Structure 1
Amino acid sequence: MHSLLIIQNNKTENVTEERSSTGPDSLLRSCGYVVTAAASPEEAKLMISDADASILDLPVTEIASWRTSLMQCKTAPILWWCTSSTATLSVAACEDDIMVDGILSPSMQPQEIHWILHFSARQCFERQQWLKEREQLLSRIEERKWIDMAKGILSKAKNISESEAYDLLRKQAMNERKRMVDVATSIVKVYQLLQDQT
């Protein structure tokens, strides 16, 4: 990781000499990172493709909307730049469920910054993998529901056991060269349509 995008909202802080010397830009550059900055979602969308991570120099209350916007463009770690100013502006949102991959502060040493960026990258990609696996599991559960409903319909209509109905579904899917869930969905929908008409 060597290229970072910093999101700064100029409305939240006055840019002073003190800020520029303790801000994320100068500190991260001194640690060897290539740093770009954006103040609007439009700017960020143009710059995010080249960034390995995003640093949000904002109050916590603005993180969720920025995170959504950034993650739609690219999967990359998102860290919060915690200063006395952003922390003070974030007190009311302290209990909110805010998702960031790490926190950086001006008092960190270069080695600490490198490690937190490393761990945040791992955290981000592990979470993405977990979300993908979760989606697959939810999809399988949904498919299982359709298959179970179709088995019930077939076993009732043909007066056969559910295991025989399952075999019938499987054979029908192979004959039609379709997925079993597609055949099951068709059976359930036709059955529901017939039930609505009677």
Structure 2
Amino acid sequence: MIDRFLLFIDPEVKDYYKPTDSTNLGSRLQDLGYRVIKTTDVSAVSTYIHQVDALIICSSIANIKTFATQSLNHRSLPLIWWFHEGSSLKDEICELEIDIDALLCSNMSNKEIHWSLHLCSNRFLQRIQWQKERELLLSKLEERKHLEKAKAILCELKKISEQEAYDFIRKQAMDERKRMVDVAISIITAYQILVANK
């Protein structure tokens, strides 16, 4: 559940949203019971980002990526884009190179805001899970490459089959109480030193 927000408003658009105006989502979120820290200073984001559950950036489409990248370098959080309605979209590309978990607009009803924030939380958790799974798969793929390379080296040097090379690496790993990938990396490193010294 997210209920504490850091709201960064792009200095270029801050004059559009007066604190008492109904289009100011920061004030509306506070009226709905959420806690909101507001700033227009991007350097202040690093100070406040550890006190909140999510980051809201109010900016045009031209600036969202820059502000999001600068802000999320400090901590991974759900990213909510408060779309500045004054932005012109006619010539903009409808693709962003950042992960946005929710979109808010000033003309949303209170119920729509609640639902958007609820979906934001779920989307962020899914995104983090996907990133962890991706990193795990990339790690396994990298381990597999090392293992295949080490097997090829053993096949060449010892004149053994691929299965025998695999069994050799597995036995070494068991004997030395290491992971197979660590044994494979040792074999590759030793082979590279041997080749370099020839």
Instruction: Tell me, yes or no, whether TM beats 0.5.
Output: yes
More helix by share: 1
**Count of aligned positions:** 196
Identity value in percent: 36
Q: Are 1:159 and 2:159 counterparts?
A: yes
Letter in 2 for 1:123: R
Change (3 A) 1:80 1:130: same
- Secondary structure in 2 aligned to 1:14? helix
The equivalent of 1:95 in structure 2 is 94
The CA distance in 2 between the partners of 1:19 and 1:64, in whole Å, is 28
The CA distance in 2 between the partners of 1:105 and 1:174, in whole Å, is 59
Query: What is the CA-CA distance between 1:68 and the residue it aligns to?
Result: 2.7
Letter in 2 for 1:70: S
What is the alpha-carbon root mean square deviation over aligned residues? Answer: 2.1
The equivalent of 2:135 in structure 1 is 135
The equivalent of 2:174 in structure 1 is 174
Letter in 2 for 1:97: L
The CA distance in 2 between the partners of 1:124 and 1:159, in whole Å, is 51
The range that moved more, 73-82 or 63-72, is 63-72
The equivalent of 1:62 in structure 2 is 63
Q: Is the 8 A contact 1:55 1:80 kept in 2?
A: yes
Q: Is the 8 A contact 1:153 1:188 kept in 2?
A: yes
- The ranges of structure 1 where at least 4 consecutive aligned residues each deviate by more than 6 angstroms after the TM superposition are none
The CA distance in 2 between the partners of 1:152 and 1:179, in whole Å, is 18
Query: What is the CA-CA distance between 1:17 and the residue it aligns to?
Result: 4.4
Unaligned ranges ≥5, structure 1: none
Query: What is the CA-CA distance between 1:183 and the residue it aligns to?
Result: 1.1
Q: Is the 8 A contact 2:59 2:84 kept in 1?
A: no
The equivalent of 2:120 in structure 1 is 120
Letter in 1 for 2:175: N
Q: TM-score, normalised by structure 2?
A: 0.89
Q: TM-score, normalised by structure 1?
A: 0.89
